[in-house]
Structure 1
Amino acid sequence: MTPGAEPGSGFRWPEALSAPVRELSDFSRLWVALSGGLDSTLLLHLAVHCHGPAGTVNAVHINHQLQPNASETEAFCRALCAVLEVPLVVERVSVVSGDDRGGSGGIEEAARTARYGVLEELMRPGDILLMAHHGDDQAETVLFRMLRGSGVAGLAGMPASRALGAGRLVRPLLHLERSELEHWAQAAGLSWINDPSNTNERFDRNFLRHRVLPLVRSRWPGLNRRLCHTADACAESETLNRKLAALQWKSLGGEWDRLPTTGLKALSLAEQKNLIRWWVRERGFQPPSVADWQQSLHDLLFAGEDREPELRAEGFSLRRFQGGLYLVPEKAPLPETPVALEPGPARRWGEWSLKLEPVSTPESLPPPIRIFTRQGGERVRFHPDGRSRSLKKWLQELRVPPWERPRLPLVFAGSEGVGELIAIGDLWCSEQYSGGAHAAAWRLVVERECD
C-alpha cells in the first residue's frame, strides 16, 4: 500500500479523537509506537496533525521478524514516516519462546517482553510514548486476565498513562472503540498493513477477539463500557490497596530489602498478601504466582527458628532470617575457580569490586593473591599471634544471612594450598593490607554494589 501524506480533502479530525493527543504537553520528544496497522497508523497521523513533525514527533517500529510480511510492514512504516517527515527508529528483535500457543510464557508474551525492553531503552527524561490501544483492546485485556485468574491489579486493565523507562507511556485512544477508529481512518483515506497473525486463533487473545467477544457482545452490546467500568473500579481498589500497603510498611519499620516478621504476623492474611505484593512491585519484580498463599506465608513466618524457609519467584526469592523477611534478588553465578588479583584495575566478583593498590613505592610485587568463595572448613586468624577461628561460626555470630555467605569474596595471600586468608568481603581485612599497610606496602580495597 502507498501511504498518503495527508487525509483526504475536506476531512476534519473529530474532537473526540484529537483532543486527548492535542492536550499532551510538557514533553521533550513525542514518540508513536508504529506497527503499521490501522490503529497506530491513525495515531501517527493524529500526532502529526496535533503537534506537527518539526522534530517533535518521532516514530519507532519494532520488527519482531515473526510474520512473513515483516519486511513489507517495515518498508510501509519507513515510507509513511518519510511522507509525513517524521524521524523513524526501526529496531529488529529476536523472539524466543518454547510455547507458541500464546499463553503465559508463549510467543505473544515473549514478543511483548522484547518490544517493551526496546521501548524502555529508547525513552529519555521528558519523553512521551503514544500507543494506540483502544477500548476493544482494554475489554480483551480485562477478560483475558480474568480467565487467567488475575487479581485486582490485573483486572484494572491497561492504564491510560504510566512510567516507561525514563519517560512515560500514554494511551490516548482507550476511550474509543475500534469500529470508530476504522470509520475515521477510512473517512480520512488512510491505508495500513494488516498483521496476518491477528486472525490466527491458536493465540489466546485472537480466540477471545474473534470467537468469544463477538458472541458476548451480541448478548450485551455495551460490553466494552461494562468491562471498562470494571477496570476503573479495580484500578481504584488497587490504588487504595497500595496506599494501605505503604502506610503499613512504614508503621512496621520496613526497609528496602527487609520486612520485620513480628508486625507482619499481626496482620490479616489479606493484608499480608497485599503488603508483600506491593513490596515486590516496588522493588521492580512481579509478585509470585502462589496457589496457596495461606500455606506459603505460614511457612515463611512460622517455621521453626532452625529452618530457612524460602519462597522462590521469577528473578528473586523471599527468605526469612533473624526476625526479618528478606527480598533476595537472583545473582549472577560466581567463578568456579580462584581468580588472581593483581595490581591495577579493579577486579569484578559478582556484586563486588576488589582492587590492590600501593600505599607507597613498593620494593617488590605483592605475593600471589587469589579470590575465591567458601568451600567449607576455612579458618581465619585475626591477629598474627592469635588463635585461628572457624569462619563459619564467625559469620554466624555476625548474623550474616545464609544466602550471602557463599557469595562473600575470600581473599588469600600466598601460594595455593598454603595461602593465608587476608580479607572476608568488606567485613574484615588483615591489618597488613588495610590502613597504612606498612607491612605489605599494598592496600586491599573491597567494595560492594548496592542492590
Structure 2
Amino acid sequence: MSLLDYSSIAHLIPANSGNIYIAYSGGIDSHVLLHLCASQADLHARITAVYVHHGLQAQADDWAAHCDNQSTALGIGFLCLKVDAKAANGESPEAAARQARYKALMTLIQSDDLVLFAQHREDQMETVLLQLFRGAGVRGLAAMPLAAPFGRGSLIRPLLPIPKSAIREYARVHRLNWVEDPSNQSSDFDRNFLRNQVIPLLKQRWPSLDKTVARSAQHCAEASALIATWNSAHLGSLANPEDNSLNIDKLKSLEDAEITGLLRHWFSSLGLKPPSQALLQTVKQQFLHSDAFANPHLVTQGHVLKKYRQTLYCLTEKTFAPLPDAQDWPAEKCTMRLANDCVLSLTTTNAGISQSLWHGSEITLKPRSGGEKLKLANRAGRHDLKKLFQEAGIPPWERQSRPLIYLNGQLAAVAGLWIAEWACAQIDAGCYRITWQPPQSV
C-alpha cells in the first residue's frame, strides 16, 4: 500500500479557492487531513482549523486546547466555536450535533471559501448501511457527496475515497498525536454499533466491503443525479413559478412512480425534508384522487398543503394567521408587514391612487367581514368582493390574507388586486399602486 500524501487529494481542492476551513475534532481522521494540507506551504495563510465545541463531553475543553496546540505547531490558524447541540424532541443526539456543527461552520463561509471534512471510505460505507436500514431510496443510498454547495462556498470531503487503513498508516509514519473520543466505544449509537460490532464481522467475510459499498454509493449518486434532472425538467412544466403550486391534472396524468418522484423533488425545491412514504400516500389520496371540489388541509413541517381549482399549494402556517380587526397604515410608510407575514408595498405609477389623496387620508387596513362591494372603473354596477375573488380565481385563504384598504373610512382598494373607481386617478408618476406579497414558502 502506497503512503497517503497530499497529491492523493490535491485534485479535489480547487487551487483558486478562498479561505480553507478544516473541521478539526482532534481525532485521527481530521488530524491527518489537517497535517496533509499543512504540508503545503502555499496553503498555510489560507487554512484555519476549526474546533466545534459541542459541550457534550467533559473533556471538550481539553480537546479544544489540544487542537489549538496542534494547529499552532503546524503553523495553522485556529478557531474554537461553541454551539448548543441539545437535541430537540424526536431528534437524535448525533443529528443535533451535526446540525449545530454545520450551522456554526456556515457562519464562516464567504464566496469561494471551502470547508473540508475528514470522512473517509469506511464512513461512507457506514452511511450507506444506515440509510439502507432506514429504508432510504436511491438518493439516500448515494450517501455523502464528495463535494457540495455549502453556504456561499463549498463543502469538500477529500478523504472520502481513502480507506481508514491508509489514514492510520499515515498517522503512524508521521507520529501524529490525536485524541480519542471515549463515546466512540459505546455501541448505544447506531453508527458506533455498526462500526464496533457489525462491520468487523462483515469484513471477515468480505475484506473489501468498504470499497465495493462505496462504489455502490457512487452508482446511486449517478442514478440520483439523472432522476433529479428528469424531475427538475418535468417540475418546470407542472409548477407555477410565482407560488410553486402544482397543476394536479397534469400531475395525475403521470405514472405513479413519476408522481412519487416529482412530489419528493417538489418538497426538496421548497426547502423541506423528503416526505415519508405514508405522507406521500396521503397526499395522493387527499389531493390527487379526491373529488375536484374537496378541500383537504394537511399540515407537515410547519407548512400546510391546500387544494383549490385542481392546484396543489404548499403554504406556511403563517398564511392562515388572522389579520387584526383594524390597523392603521401611516401614510409616510412605503411598506407594511402584516401579522400573517404578508407584505404590502407602495409603487409609484401613472395610474392608481393619487399620491395627494393617499397622503391626505387616514389609511386603515381591515380584513373582510362579508358583504363588501366595490365599483370598478370601466365596469357597470357595484360588485360583491366574493364574486370578484371567484372570477379572478383567488384561493379562499388568500382572500382572508389580503386586507381591504380604507381611505377616511371608505373602501378604496383590495391589496394587490383592485382599486375603487372613486379612488382611481391617472397622473404621470403621481399615483400609488399597492402590491401584495404572500409569506415566503420556506
Judge same fold: TM > 0.5, yes or no: yes
SS, match of residue 397 in structure 2? coil
Q: What's the CA shift for 1:158?
A: 0.4
Counterpart CA distance in 1 for 2:294 and 2:249 is 17
- For 1:312 and 1:172, the matched residues in 2 are separated by 40
Matched-pair contact (CA < 8 Å) for 2:3–2:169: no
Alignment counterpart, residue 448 of structure 1, candidates 428, 432, 437: 437
Give yes or no for the alignment of 1:400 onto 2:389. no
Cα pair 2:6 2:39 within 8 Å, conserved: no
In structure 1, what is the Cα distance between the partners aligned to 2:323 and 2:180? Answer: 51
Task: Confirm whether residue 29 of structure 1 aligns to residue 19 of structure 2.
Answer: yes
Aligned equivalents of 1:316, 1:430: Cα separation in 2: 34
SS at match of 2:314: strand
- Do residues 155 (structure 1) and 149 (structure 2) align? no
Number of aligned residues: 426
Within 1, Cα distance between the matches of 2:25 and 2:424? 58
- 1:275-424 equivalence runs, <5 A: 275-291=262-278, 293-294=280-281, 296-331=283-318, 334=321, 337=324, 338-345=326-333, 346-349=335-338, 350-354=341-345, 366-367=361-362, 369-374=363-368, 376-377=369-370, 379-382=372-375, 389-414=383-408, 419-424=409-414
Give, as a single letter, the amino acid of the residue that structure 2 aligns with 1:426. G
Equivalent in the alignment of 2:197: 211
Task: Provide the residue aligned with 1:87 in structure 2.
Answer: 77
Q: Which amino acid aligns with 1:14?
A: L
Structure 2, unaligned stretches of length 5 or more?
none
Deviation (angstroms), 1:266: 1.9
Q: State the match for 2:96 in structure 1.
A: 110
Change (3 A) 1:210 1:435: farther
- Who is 1:14 aligned against? 3
CA separation of 1:388 and 1:120: change in aligned 2, threshold 3 A: farther
Shift of 1:327: 3.5
Alpha-carbon distance between aligned partners in 1 of 2:53 and 2:400, rounded to the nearest angstrom: 42
Q: Which amino acid aligns with 1:352?
A: V
The percent identity for this pair of structures is 31
Query: SS of the counterpart of 1:267?
Result: coil
Shift of 1:142: 0.8
Change in 2 beyond 3 A, CA 1:15/1:200: closer
- C-alpha root-mean-square deviation of aligned residues, in Å? 3.3
More displaced 10-residue stretch of structure 1: 198-207 or 322-331: 322-331
Of 145-154 and 236-245, the range deviating more from structure 2:
236-245
SS of alignment partner, residue 404 of structure 1: helix
Cα gap change, 1:360/1:383 in structure 2, threshold over 3 Å: closer, same or farther?
closer
For the 8 Å contact 1:18–1:46, the answer to whether it is kept is no
Post-superposition shift, 1:23?
Answer: 5.1
Question: How far apart are residue 434 of structure 1 and its match?
Answer: 5.8
Paired with 2:80 and 2:371, the residues of 1 have a C-alpha distance of 55
In structure 1, give the amino acid aligned to 2:22: V
How far has the Cα of 1:333 moved from its partner?
A: 7.2
Deviates more, 1:254-263 or 1:26-35: 254-263
**Partner in structure 1 of residue 181 of structure 2:** 195
Q: String of CA shifts for 1:304-335, please: whole Å, max 9, x gaps.
A: 12212355432444433223333334547757
Shift in Å, 1:405: 2.8
Q: Structure 1 residues 443, 275: closer, same or farther in 2, change over 3 A?
A: closer
The 8 Å contact of residues 434 and 443 in structure 1, kept in 2 or not, is answered as: no
> How far apart are residue 110 of structure 1 and its match?
1.8
When residues 361 and 429 of structure 1 are mapped into structure 2, their CA distance, relative to the original with a 3 A threshold, is closer
Q: Mark the CA change 1:87 to 1:431 in structure 2 (over 3 Å): closer, same or farther.
A: farther
Q: TM-score, normalised by structure 2?
A: 0.84
Alignment partner of 1:131 is 2:117: yes
> What TM-score do you get using the length of structure 1 for normalisation?
0.82
Native 8 Å contact 2:323 2:401 kept in 1: no
Residue 59 of structure 1 corresponds to 49
Counterpart Cα distance in 1 of 2:75 and 2:51: 15
> Is this contact kept in 2: 1:356–1:444, CA < 8 A?
yes
**What aligned pairs does 1:242-257 form with structure 2 within 5 A after superposition?**
242-250=228-236, 252-256=237-241, 257=244
In 2, distance between residues paired with 1:166 and 1:363?
Answer: 42
Query: CA separation of 1:443/1:48 partners in 2, compared to 1, >3 Å: closer, same or farther?
Result: same
Distance in structure 2 (CA, Å) of the matches to 1:423 and 1:363: 12
Q: 251, 255, 258: which one pairs with 1:264?
A: 251
AA aligned opposite 2:344: S
The answer to which of 86-95 and 106-115 deviates more is: 86-95
Distance in 2 (CA, whole Å) between partners of 1:79 and 1:433 is: 72
Which amino acid in 1 is paired with 2:370? Answer: G
- What letter matches 2:390 in structure 1? Q
Q: Which stretch shifts more, 335-344 or 158-167?
A: 335-344
Give unpaired runs (5+ residues) of structure 1: 1-12
1:72, 1:435 → 2: CA distance?
Answer: 72
| 8 Å CA contact retained: 2:263, 2:280 | no
